[in-house]
Structure 1
Amino acid sequence: MTTLSTHALDSALGRPAAGIAVALTGPDATHLAEATTDPDGRVRFDVPIGGGTHRLTFATGPWFAAADRATLYPEVVLSFEVDATEEHYHVALLLGPWSYTTYRGS
């Protein structure tokens, strides 16, 4: 089985995005796990994941609101395809109030 981690960075402030709630769903929208980014903006999910389309949903609206910052995105949903023969996936989010980007890290 494959493992998964994520990292959220606040690109506007140049620091980790700590305290964002993140939900992981698997194929057929199966709920797999929930977590909150740590002080370094990271989550390592403790559940093995199989192949297929998975989603990470970041609750960005409440996170920006708690910091009294406006945002265009109440949530960010990252969909990605998992090849079960791969050992690990790291899906990163670079987040700003008016834009975001993502990439597969190592």
Structure 2
Amino acid sequence: MSVSTHVLDAVRGTPATGVGLAVVDEHGDVVTTGITDEEGRAKELLPDDAVAGVYTLVFDTAAYFEQSGTQTFYPEVSITFTVLDVDAHHHVPLLLSPFAYSTYRGS
């Protein structure tokens, strides 16, 4: 099973580099942590022994916007999703701005 994300800064029109994130399981336990790379991507966010279930990606948007002196309404963005097929890749993109965000099931 694999989970990845791609964060884009909609205001700048660029990848959101350096966004801290955590993957939390349905029990509230942090499974992994990471940070987006220069392309705004974080890959392989679940360990090899992860099981099907409900997970939440939590993005530290406050720290990301603070780096540029930008105020934000959302100090974090949490996206909860279900992994049913452990053999499938799950891509969870985030389109981010200081006062809005959107996501979808990527491929």
Q: State if a TM-score over 0.5 links the two structures.
A: yes
Q: Which runs of 5+ in 1 are unaligned?
A: none
Structure with higher strand content: 1
Match of 1:24 in 2: 23
Match of 1:47 in 2: 47
Cα deviation code 1:29-80 (max 9, x no counterpart):
1211000000000001251332111000000001101111111000000001
> Shift in Å at residue 104 of structure 1?
1.1
Counterpart CA distance in 2 for 1:46 and 1:74 is: 24
Overall identity of the aligned pairs, in %: 37
Per the normalisation by structure 2, the TM-score is 0.92
Per the normalisation by structure 1, the TM-score is 0.93
> How do residues 65-104 of structure 1 correspond to structure 2 at under 5 angstroms?
65-104=66-105
Counterpart CA distance in 2 for 1:30 and 1:84 is: 21
Please give the root-mean-square deviation of Cα atoms over the aligned residues, in Å: 1.2
Q: Which portions of structure 1, spanning 4 or more consecutive aligned residues, are displaced by more than 3 angstroms?
A: none
The one-letter code sitting in structure 2 at the alignment partner of 1:39 is E
